[in-house]
Amino acid sequence: MTEYLFSYGTLQKEKVQQELFGRILKGSGDILRGFKTSVVEITDESFLSKNEQKFQHTAIVSKDKNDLIRGTVFEITPDDLVLADKYEPRNYKRIAVVLESGKKAWIYSAAGDR
């Protein structure tokens, strides 16, 4: 079964994909409307130990219908999704969205920030 994961941050990096999934993911550009990004401080030491930046962007729901986030939607497996869940900082949660392409995808957002 194919899952879709929309990334607007670190999961777009080929180095991260190779280390996490053991391969470069197949993806294409897409847009998430009705959201915008906000900067959050990451305190999860296991995430920071992967040489990731302390300040990351997170997706938050916007009241402005013109707001959007550009990113990449990746085709992944359910097992890949479990790996992505383990990779993301502890205060991030996975939520379902519908992208401009019509694909139903998962995104990660800092808990309490949507």
Number of domains the chain contains: 1
pTM assigned to the model: 0.83
Expressed as residue numbers, the domain containing 100 is 3-110
Quote the pLDDT of residue 48: 54
Cα torsion 20, 23, 26, 31 to 10°: value is 20
Contact 32, 99 (CB under 8 A): yes
The answer to whether the CB of 83 falls within 8 A of the CB of 98 is no
CATH code of 23's domain: 3.10.490.10
Q: Amino acid identity of 8?
A: Y
Q: What is the pLDDT along the chain (114 residues), one digit of tens a residue?
A: 899 999 998 899 999 999 999 999 999 999 999 999 887 666 666 665 655 666 667 888 888 989 999 999 999 999 999 999 988 877 889 999 999 999 999 999 886 544
